[in-house]
Structure 1
Amino acid sequence: MLPVATPNDLLRAALTADPARPLLTFYDDATGERTELSVRTFENWVAKTANLLQDELAATAGSRLALALPVHWQAAVWMQAAWALGMEVVPGLSGDVVVTTPDRLEGLSGDVVSLSLRPALVAATTPAPPLPAGVLDGDTEVLAHGDRFVPYAPPAADAAALTVGGRTWSLAELGALAARGSGARVLVSEALDTVDTVSSALLVPLASGGSTVLVRNADPALLERRRETERVTG
């Protein structure tokens, strides 16, 4: 019997097969931002983020990562980084580690990470407004961590990985779900908070050699032209 593939296996395989191929292309129609991540660049961000989770926030297998982010390439990065440790990702603001935007910090406590979702170069070079005491500035803290990640304990394939819509999916189940897709280039303009958007935006492209165009604040008037210029096929 062939071993069960997990999202971590899918990323490693994609990195081995073609690290330079485009994986995620991100647009923000409100700001005009366009960011493109190859498999290698995505993996680099994932490693830095996983190191932050493990070394600075003491996250371990079984910890819950709450994500409250709009559709964005960083949402995919944090999700994949959590799985590298064997964490369970849940949408919302309740978890062992909470990752959200500065406008949603009120009333939160514990391990909270704020992401401004500004373009990476801007975030790295331009100070952001002060954050509440105890809130981690994810824009700057992630950059300080290493480019290679090794978990203290490799996550088990049956570890809980994603809980949405009243159901929990294991790492192995997400890997199996990804194997059903094709190597298309798809466009996703909704938050990665359902199993369908997570699968189509991240898992299937990793498994099949495809790629994704993520669009935040999508302008309906631009979508059809973007499908053409970005050669969306799925």
Structure 2
Amino acid sequence: METPAAPAPSDVATLLTQLQREPGRPRITWYGGLGERVELSGAVLANWVTKTTNLLVEEFDAGPGTRVLLDLPPHWRTLVWALATWRTGAGVVVAPAPAPDVVVTDRPETHAAAADVVAVALPALARRFDGALPPRAVDAAAAVMTYGDALGWVPEPDAAHDALPGVPHARLLTSADGHVAPGTRLLHHVPTGAVTPTELLREVAVLAADGSLVLVAPDAGVDVERVAESERATTGSA
């Protein structure tokens, strides 16, 4: 007798619980430059999101109404920061966005005037941000791992608040265009430039459908079709 499929998650908290039902199953596989390959299981992804959520709440009082600017390229770390922002009930914005409350970026030198900046080092093995930091900036590579593996206090969510501009939390997991088949393992060649709301919505839709992502960076230098075959993934747009 087949086990009935779990209902689709309605919010990020439920999504994170879903990811841990099969804790060892790959959920994000990242192919980056210089031969980098990073695989995050459901348990590891949820752990990264939990630690990052704790940082956002404890360092910046993130919650409903907080606007977090993600000035990052499409990347597995970017998706972690987006999920953590949404778990606090805050909203993600992308550039150009006037006066965000928190800036999360791999280019902190361009946000020296911002009050609250998080500098993100993108290489998988980075232990600290390799560059100058503005005063009071938080080095994500050093800071995130110091936060707890268990979720601390998180503000009560408000489904009516924006998760992305024009997309309330209540519709976050259902706003991507097109249908994602349950359990899809999708290979996506991510675009260059800064991440967009469309990119985030499509990636989170795959996870919400109990699927997994194989993300290939523009500079990965791999044969995408060969990677798709080895990863048993279908190719297309996430």
Smaller-chain TM-score bracket: 0.7 to 0.9
Q: Secondary structure at the match of 1:205?
A: helix
CA distance in 2, matches of 1:4, 1:217: 31
Secondary structure at the counterpart of residue 25 of structure 1: strand
Distance 1:4 1:39 in 2: 15
Structure 2 CA distance for partners of 1:58 and 1:230, relative to 1, 3 Å: same
Equivalent positions of 1:76-225 (< 5 A) are 76-92=79-95, 94=97, 95-102=100-107, 104-119=109-124, 122-124=125-127, 128-163=130-165, 168-177=166-175, 180-182=179-181, 183-188=183-188, 189-190=190-191, 192-195=195-198, 197-201=199-203, 203-218=204-219, 222-225=223-226
Paired-residue identity, %: 35
Distance 1:58 1:93 in 2: 23
Asked if 2 retains the 8 angstrom alpha-carbon contact of 1:85 and 1:151, the reply is no
User: What do you get for the CA RMSD once the two structures are aligned?
Assistant: 2.5
Offset of 1:177 from its aligned partner? Answer: 3.4
Distance across 1 between alignment mates of 2:220 and 2:149: 35
Q: Does residue 44 of structure 2 align to residue 46 of structure 1?
A: no
Residues 127, 159 of structure 1: alpha-carbon distance in 2 compared, 3 angstrom cutoff? closer
Consecutive unaligned residues in structure 2, runs of 5 or more: 1-6
| Structure 2 residue identity aligned to 1:91 | V
TM-score by length of 1: 0.85
Q: 1:63 to 1:226 in 2, by over 3 A?
A: same
CA contact 1:10–1:175 (8 Å) conserved in 2: no
CA–CA distance in 2 between the matches of 1:78 and 1:129? 20
Structure in which a larger fraction of residues adopt helix: 1
CA contact (8 A) 2:28 2:213 kept: yes
In the alignment of these two chains, the number of paired residues is 222
State the distance in 2 between where 1:219 and 1:78 align: 22
Normalised TM-score (structure 2): 0.83
Unaligned runs of 5+ in 1: none
Match of 2:61 among 58, 64, 67: 58
